[in-house]
Each structure stands twice: as structure tokens, then as C-alpha cells.
Amino acid sequence: MSVLNVPESVSAAAPSSLAETWRAKMRGTNAPSPIDRDRDQKLLLWAEYAETFRDLQTAMRDNAFDIGTPSLGPSTAGTKITSPSLASITESPSQEEKSEPRYSFQRRREYIREWDSWRSQWEASGVCNSVPPFGCRLIDPVTSLFPRILALYHHYAILVTASPLLRGDPNIWQEMISDTVGYTILTRARDAAVEIIRAICLPEIKRTLQYSLPLFRTQLAMALTHLILQTSILPQAPMTSVPLIQSMVRQAYDCLGGEQQLHGTLLAEVVSSGEMVKKEIINNPAGKELWRKVMGGF
């Protein structure tokens, strides 16, 4: 089941009926032991995750993913931004612009609700609270990491869903911050990026990065890129919270080995200069080349 490199457009390879089939199997049979029941519950969680991610990937390939129904009224977001900042709106929309489809972020909100429901299910199930085998101590022999890994992948799913980064259009950032639903979603994206960095920099995971970084590299690169892009496109927006983003960027920099490991990357440049606005990456398509530019190692 491949659910990791979503920004690389690697489709999640989960049959559409896998979670449903596994759920029916769990209802129809009694697990012989708590360990087996715990294992079955974890497999179901990952099957549901993979299938939701596959559906999200399919939806986001549609160019109309963020487009609502046509409206004859003026756009609440005004004209498109022409510079990587909160540009003042000075032009009135033409009649042609008024009849164009408006941005709508309802589909993003619906998927975010699905991810939150997924997390609520595993939190309510008590998975990992009863028995330690099969993943709970996969990385750390003392501390049970499975709930933290699930939380990490929940934050990553929220980031992929909520961030305009993967759309490759800097104007969507302005549209989102000018829209009530979009603003809330963009805030979720920022918070998810922050939580991804915090999770990967936890001592329990940080000390394994010498060999486990490939598991987390895409998540970390996307989180860092989102935060740097947000400060570059929306530097004056209160929700950007530049001091918070600077502290997260610094934390990731230290976690990854500092200048010795990151020399020549955008992450090292941002930390050394203190300058968060990086116009040169605004129009770069999301993918390995952008991740490599930001933190290297791809």
C-alpha cells in the first residue's frame, strides 16, 4: 500500500474495497488474542487512510477542484495578486471577470472533515493502549510511538489537503485568505506544517533520522516549503505568524544537522540570513526538484 509520495503523484495502491472487506472480516470473526485484534485494527486504519488519500489525489487532479459555481457578483477576493505580498486591491473586476467561476474551498473542507473523523476513530478505539506489538514500539523500544506516527500522518494528510502549494498557482493563496472558509483551511495548513516539524524533531524520532529520514523526508520538505511560501506570498497576514514560522524553520534546520548537512539549501539560506521572503520559489512546481532546493537529499 503506497500512500507516501503524494506530491509526486504516486497513486495510493489500495483496492477500493480493501477497507470495507477488512472491516467485514473483523465483524465476522473473533480475534484469537488481543494482539491479533490490535493488529487487525491497525491494518484497517491504514487501509482507510490509503483509500481516502487515493480519492483525494483523484479529486485534486481535477482543475476545477477549487472552483465553485459561476457567480454574477464581484469576487470577495478582488483582483488576482501581482506580487508576492498582500497587494492592495485597486482594480474593479470587469463584467467578464464577474461571470467567471468563483473559487470555492468546500471540497477541501469536506476532505479535512474525513481526516479528522479518521483520527477521532483511532483515538476512540484505544489502539496502542492495550498491547505494544506490531508497530507501537517499531522505532523506539521504550516509548510507544504508534499514536504519534498516526498523528504525524494525520497532520500530513491535512497539509496535503489544505495547502495551496500543490496547485502551483500563487493566486490561490490570496483567494483563500480573502475567503472565510479558505482562511480557516489555510490556518489548518499552517498548523499541520508546524506539527509535522515538531513531530519529526521529537527526540524519539530525531535520534533515528540517520536511517529513518527517507520515511519522513517528503512530509518534512512539504511542511517547510509551505511555511516558506506562506511568508513569501502572505508576509503581512496576521495568520502567517512569522516568528512562529522562523522558530519552526530553525528547529528543522538544527534537527537535520545544521550547516554541515544543509549547506547550499534554501533552508540553510533562510536560517543564516533571517530573510523568510523567497520570491524565487513562488512559481516553482511542487515536486522533487523543489524539495531538493529547500532541504536537499532527494
In a domain, 130, yes or no: yes
In a domain, 66, yes or no: no
What range defines the domain where residue 147 resides? 6-61+106-295
CB 222 within 8 A of CB 158: no
Q: How confident is the model at residue 127 (pLDDT cuts 50, 70, 90)?
A: low
With H, G, I as helix, E, B as strand and everything else as coil, classify residue 39: helix
CB 253 within 8 A of CB 267: yes
Greatest mean pLDDT among 60-69, 137-146, 185-194, 279-288 lies in 185-194
pLDDT the model gives residue 28: 72
Please state the domain count of the chain. Answer: 1
In a domain, 163, yes or no: yes
Provide DSSP, 2-15: --S-GGGT------
In a domain, 73, yes or no: no
C-alpha to C-alpha distance for 74 and 210, rounded to whole angstroms: 53
- 152-177 pLDDT, tens digit each: 999 999 999 999 999 988 999 999 99
Instruction: Evaluate if residue 271 carries a pLDDT over 50.
Output: yes
Of the candidates 190, 187, 168, the one whose C-alpha atom is nearest the C-alpha of residue 179 is: 187
Indicate the pairing of strand 101-103 with strand 67-70.
Answer: antiparallel
> How many CA atoms within 13 Å lie on the side-chain side of 40?
18
Residue with the larger pLDDT of the pair 56 and 78: 56
pLDDT the model gives residue 260: 93
CB 81 within 8 A of CB 127: no
Instruction: Evaluate if residue 97 carries a pLDDT over 60.
Output: no
Instruction: Evaluate if residue 200 carries a pLDDT over 60.
Output: yes
Q: Which amino acid is at 189?
A: A
C-alpha to C-alpha distance for 284 and 110, rounded to whole angstroms: 28
pLDDT the model gives residue 236: 92
Instruction: Evaluate if residue 119 carries a pLDDT over 80.
Output: yes
pLDDT the model gives residue 74: 40
Region 28-45: mean pLDDT is 81
pLDDT the model gives residue 183: 97
Q: What is the mean pLDDT of the chain?
A: 81
pLDDT the model gives residue 160: 97
In a domain, 80, yes or no: no
In a domain, 285, yes or no: yes
CA 275 to chain centre: 24
% of residues, the chain, pLDDT over 90: 58
In a domain, 76, yes or no: no
Of the candidates 172, 162, 167, the one whose C-alpha atom is nearest the C-alpha of residue 193 is: 162
Region 40-66: mean pLDDT is 90
In a domain, 162, yes or no: yes
Q: Which amino acid is at 179?
A: D
pLDDT the model gives residue 146: 80
Instruction: Evaluate if residue 73 carries a pLDDT over 50.
Output: no
